Chains A and B, each alone.
Chain A
Amino acid sequence: MTITPKQYALTWYELLQDKKSDKNINQKMLTYLYKTGRLSKLAEILRNLEEIEHKAQGIEHVTVTSAREIADSEAKKLAKEILKTEITISTKINPELIGGIQIETKNKRWDLSIKNQLLSLRKQLK
């Protein structure tokens, strides 16, 4: 039977949650994956692990990209306004946006950047 990355991630997550389990569980997990030749799936397993964790905590992870630096608290306030759920946040700076911000979750995006507006203006003038 082949074990899917999702199943690996679930096992890993449950082990992490279990208070009784070994403290070196991460190292052990990686060693196990290496020994079974599954290390190539690591990226996908980690992606799944992250997803499982966010789901369990009922938290959505949001990336806020802005053209200039903005304070995390301000970014969080803005994102919360739109998403209306609990969120964790990471910020990025991308001068290509010219101005404004982009708010991204895994499946959705609200694009409030000048770049996006210019692009849609180009489409309309075509």
Chain B
Amino acid sequence: MDSIIEQLKKEISGFKAEIAEEKIGTVIGLADGIATATGLADVASMEMVEFDDGAIGVALNLEEGKVGIMVLGEYRGIFEGMKVKALGRILDVPVGEEMIGRVVDPLGMPKDGKDLKTKQTYPMERVAPGVITRKSVHQPVQTGLKSIDAMVPVGRGQRELIIGDRQTGKTAVAIDTILNQKGQGMTCIYVAIGQKESKIAQIVARLEKAGAMEYTIVVSASASESAALNFLAPYAGCAMGEFFMDKGKDALIIYDDLSKHAVSYRQISLLLKRPPGREAYPGDVFYLHSRLLERSAKLNEDNGGGSLTALPIIETQGNDVSAYIPTNVISITDGQIYLESNLFNKGFRPAINVGLSVSRVGGAAQIKAMKKVAGSLRLDLAQFRELEAFTQFGSDLDEETQNRLELGKRIEKLLIQLQYSPMPVSQQVVQIYSATNGLMSDVIVEYISNFAEGLSEYIEQNNPELLKLINEKGEFDEKWEDGLKKSIDDYKSIADKSWFVEK
């Protein structure tokens, strides 16, 4: 007890009141979280200001004679005539290793009420790394989802959009990806923008249960928080990710979702009386997202070799990808994963539309083994879909067409994957190899998943060297192929006989 008093005395005696000149202004108006003030003569754009009641704001609009201020958080204590003080600091956010495992708000304050001490801060708005400091994407991010890792691969430093209607499993894809990063040296940042508190709580609980919070930061700006905080959340999350990238580490950031981000920005812009454009979004809504996503990069060795991979999410209305915000973000990102409600309702989950999903740079990042076995997968599926539509009229089919149809059905079935069950890439290679090479042609379509699951387990127990070979070297050779074929035959001999077509 005495020591506490002593320490307090020491701290208080170290305190020196300073008479400093403060730059101030006077509030002349306040509407829905946007305050206008006169004075504040030398305030900078994006400079933080403090109202006399302790509320913090950011100067956004600098006009002749007045300043438009976005109030962060509670604005009910502000009234006309109140003084506002410029803090001389551009908006920043605490960053560092200490934030891992925490749920924070967009200003970096912990939401659990516990202490959080960080040594460093990063500015929220930062210019993206330039051409000279970058390197092309060449290492994979393993999402653990068969259909993504095989057909729309994502590389470290890539920006891959997840797009689809509501209730199509967009967040599920993102969460599965986080779960699969365990032990892959990746720090994950999940940014919730305008989400329901209940959904965020559910996600955090799921991550905690799977032990994924050990390498994850959650930045949460829920639907009940002000538009200002929703608008800042992705930039704050990005700054936290950049910290790891600058340290030469790999980070993955998920923006869930940027449609709501654009809506928040529209609200702020309209209140600041900026002229509205298409769908009432302001003129700089493209730049709003491009400057954010451009900050994801793969740095070259001279700059530490770190990376920041972004998985932005966009929610479409009625499968309309040609709306304003979706087209903007599609054009900014390096590809998209397109989720469809039709497929979802048919039971294909993750409901990825393979035809419309692309990855513009990820192919270079796939491991060789996966590249080899999955090479024909996309084509096989596309041909199958075409034939399937054609054969619905029911006519006699030649043998080759029939084979293609059978293969297609099996591949389609194989790509179905339960939520929260990401799969290591080596297992994916094994399963996809056996499907595309016709080694599953004697298995009844309904039992494909049972067979694939059993096969994975069998190989893990009886031939772990095979998986090790893929995991470590990523290579694909004949010796490996022979070993796998033998293992599949062995498994077939012990597997449930009712799974197979009667000969």
Residues of A within 8 A of B (CB): 6, 43, 47-48, 104, 106-112, 117, 120-121, 124-125
In the bound complex, do residue A112 and residue B19 qualify as a contact, i.e. CB atoms below 8 Å apart? yes
A120 and chain B: residue at smallest CB distance: B17
Chain A residues lying within 8 Å of B22, measured Cβ to Cβ, are 108-111
In the bound complex, do residue A107 and residue B24 qualify as a contact, i.e. CB atoms below 8 Å apart? yes
Enumerate B26-56 residues with CB–CB distance to A below 8 Å. Answer: 26, 28, 38-42
A114 and chain B: residue at smallest CB distance: B17
Q: Give CA–CA (A108, B65) in the complex, Å.
A: 15
Chain B residues lying within 8 Å of A111, measured Cβ to Cβ, are 19-20, 22
Q: Give CA–CA (A117, B42) in the complex, Å.
A: 25
Q: Add 9 more A-B contacts to A48-B65, A110-B22, A120-B15 (CB < 8 A).
A: A43-B28, A47-B28, A104-B24, A106-B38, A107-B23, A107-B39, A108-B21, A109-B83, A110-B21
Chain A residues lying within 8 Å of B15, measured Cβ to Cβ, are 120-121, 124
- Per-residue contact bits, chain B 1-30, to A (CB 8 Å; 1 contact, 0 not): 000000010011011011111111110100
Q: Does B85 contact A (CB under 8 A)?
A: yes
Q: Give CA–CA (A110, B42) in the complex, Å.
A: 16
Chain A residues lying within 8 Å of B20, measured Cβ to Cβ, are 110-111
Q: Which 8 A-B pairs have the closest CB atoms?
A: A107-B41, A117-B17, A109-B22, A109-B24, A107-B39, A106-B39, A121-B15, A124-B15
Chain B residues lying within 8 Å of A109, measured Cβ to Cβ, are 21-24, 83, 85
Chain A residues lying within 8 Å of B23, measured Cβ to Cβ, are 107-109
Chain A residues lying within 8 Å of B14, measured Cβ to Cβ, are 124
A102 and chain B: residue at smallest CB distance: B83
Residues of B within 8 A of A (CB): 8, 11-12, 14-15, 17-26, 28, 38-42, 64-65, 83, 85
Residue of A43, A111, A121, A124 ringed by the most chain B CB atoms within 10 A? A111
In the bound complex, do residue B38 and residue A47 qualify as a contact, i.e. CB atoms below 8 Å apart? yes
Known: A107-B39, A107-B40, A109-B85. Is A125-B11 also a contact (CB below 8 A)? Answer: yes
Chain A residues lying within 8 Å of B38, measured Cβ to Cβ, are 47, 106
Chain B residues lying within 8 Å of A110, measured Cβ to Cβ, are 19-22
In the bound complex, do residue A124 and residue B11 qualify as a contact, i.e. CB atoms below 8 Å apart? yes
Name A6's contact: one of B8, B21, B65 (CB within 8 Å).
B65
Chain A residues lying within 8 Å of B25, measured Cβ to Cβ, are 107
In the bound complex, do residue A104 and residue B83 qualify as a contact, i.e. CB atoms below 8 Å apart? yes
Chain A residues lying within 8 Å of B28, measured Cβ to Cβ, are 43, 47
Q: Give CA–CA (A106, B67) in the complex, Å.
A: 14
Shortest distance from the beta carbon of A97 to any chain B beta carbon, whole Å: 11
Chain A residues lying within 8 Å of B18, measured Cβ to Cβ, are 120
A–B Cβ pairs within 8 angstroms, 26 of them = A6-B64, A47-B38, A48-B65, A106-B26, A106-B41, A107-B23, A107-B24, A107-B42, A109-B21, A109-B22, A109-B23, A109-B24, A109-B83, A109-B85, A110-B19, A110-B20, A110-B22, A111-B20, A120-B15, A120-B18, A121-B12, A124-B14, A124-B15, A125-B8, A125-B11, A125-B12
A5 and chain B: residue at smallest CB distance: B65
Chain B residues lying within 8 Å of A47, measured Cβ to Cβ, are 28, 38
Residue of A47, A107, A110 ringed by the most chain B CB atoms within 10 A? A107
Chain B residues lying within 8 Å of A117, measured Cβ to Cβ, are 17
Chain A residues lying within 8 Å of B26, measured Cβ to Cβ, are 106
Shortest distance from the beta carbon of A58 to any chain B beta carbon, whole Å: 17
Chain B residues lying within 8 Å of A6, measured Cβ to Cβ, are 64-65
Chain A residues lying within 8 Å of B65, measured Cβ to Cβ, are 6, 48
Chain B residues lying within 8 Å of A104, measured Cβ to Cβ, are 24, 83
Chain A residues lying within 8 Å of B39, measured Cβ to Cβ, are 106-107
Q: Give CA–CA (A120, B12) in the complex, Å.
A: 11
Chain A residues lying within 8 Å of B64, measured Cβ to Cβ, are 6
Q: Give CA–CA (A106, B24) in the complex, Å.
A: 7
Shortest distance from the beta carbon of A84 to any chain B beta carbon, whole Å: 13
Q: Give CA–CA (A11, B4) in the complex, Å.
A: 66
Q: Give CA–CA (A121, B14) in the complex, Å.
A: 10
Q: Give CA–CA (A121, B17) in the complex, Å.
A: 8
Chain B residues lying within 8 Å of A124, measured Cβ to Cβ, are 11, 14-15
Q: Give CA–CA (A106, B39) in the complex, Å.
A: 6
Chain A residues lying within 8 Å of B12, measured Cβ to Cβ, are 121, 125
Shortest distance from the beta carbon of A91 to any chain B beta carbon, whole Å: 16
Q: Give CA–CA (A124, B10) in the complex, Å.
A: 12
Q: Give CA–CA (A47, B19) in the complex, Å.
A: 29
Shortest distance from the beta carbon of B319 to any chain A beta carbon, whole Å: 45
